[in-house]
Structure 1
């Protein structure tokens, strides 16, 4: 009888005391996503022009950074790559912050930055993050990104103790590019480096086809000419100048001359590292890489992280001669 009584007592104690605590603990683990980290020491905020609403919203710096990382880098990436991205995003934003002596957003003068990725940096609200990742993945990814931002809180990239212009892009396809060849201005820390780390990028190569008449319309010049011997057609386009990395710097199309960047924009190509081939009455363009190719290569950063490189090593590889420093007061 005594063992039975002891067993009954133990069961009651487990049911009354232990089981409720386990349930509460389980609810805590599945509870709300932690709030994004904040720059408590500095209390920095910035004015963000929201492209969708046309309004300028004031928000804490670190909240903004988390939203940018969510928009600009896949949440599936390695933590060290996400940390590198967070530091680059913070540096990019602070360099433009009016309170830090920056010029603000040229496109929207009343704001420090905007959410147009073609002009400043992309940004996703919590609702947009949830739509992007889905209800199941949202808590995990939000916590993962918050951790990357929090672990690098207050850290920025400097060159000679000045904030750098932390340019970044998706995929460089083997080698990043000098800023001078893309934007016409030499920047000592934005020089091309070999990048064997982005070969697994799904954006490494792309192909797009346009009818010849559409190419002519977009380039505002006739590109189809009679072929030699008068049979068939040929394409009146030629590369006039390209960089050592294979990116087109200058191109002749019909009677006009364009920069590779202009052709990329007019034809909506993924990069200036492209070639073309005539197939019937269509021009098929094959591109390597995605983006301008300057600064941090995001898929390269993830490749380096997979090899065990730290976020500091990643940043100092793609941005030459820089230091990773803490903001005063953080």
Structure 2
């Protein structure tokens, strides 16, 4: 009777649209029924098959007639439901064999399959980059530790007391440049906030005067103005490294923001970003792709500030 009950529970779990299927699987596991492993493996294989069907559907949609009644959202909704159930039914009848392999390894029923409990650790793809991961963690821990102790670079200091002061001061300059070059003022301020920690870590000259450089723009051979040489954290193949670099120095914040707009719009490498200034997400992504910064998470950091409650509370 118990076996019959478990069998019914597993049969019902095969319906992917049954919202109680997960609970039924749990009940089957609690009953001690070994066949539940087979069911779990089949559902895992079903997910894999469903992903393949979804990829094929996307390729088909790209060539579909947009005006066709069979290309409506309603049709796609029910089509996806059908594909989900189809994937489950296909795997329940033998499928691709992936479920059988999972059962043999997880169930440890055959000596020819290495038990899951003793699989070597380098089966985890993250461990293939273990040295890089360790190096990144150590570098980040060093930076965080120094910040927590209040230790700052001698060439960087705060220009603003609060983020509110930072935004209110920059806003008129950012709006002016945004209107001139067709940019997003909030995206400009968000980038400056990431570069300087809301104005807490602004590059200063050797005499202690602010460079007003809020965007980390370096002084190349074509720059004829003042410079400030400071330590900076650059990423090489994802690994942060401390280097010295020369940055542009300005007489005022207005000059700095104007130079940013001019720098972005006149550099050929940022042409793709300039064409996407109306979309902050695309704009920042193109900036990173063009090599504006070596930080692999640069664009996502800017967008995190862009969508933050702090900035939106000051610039709706």
TM-score (norm 2): 0.25
In terms of Rg, which structure is larger? 2
Higher relative contact order (CA 8 A, sep 6+): 1
Higher helix share: 2
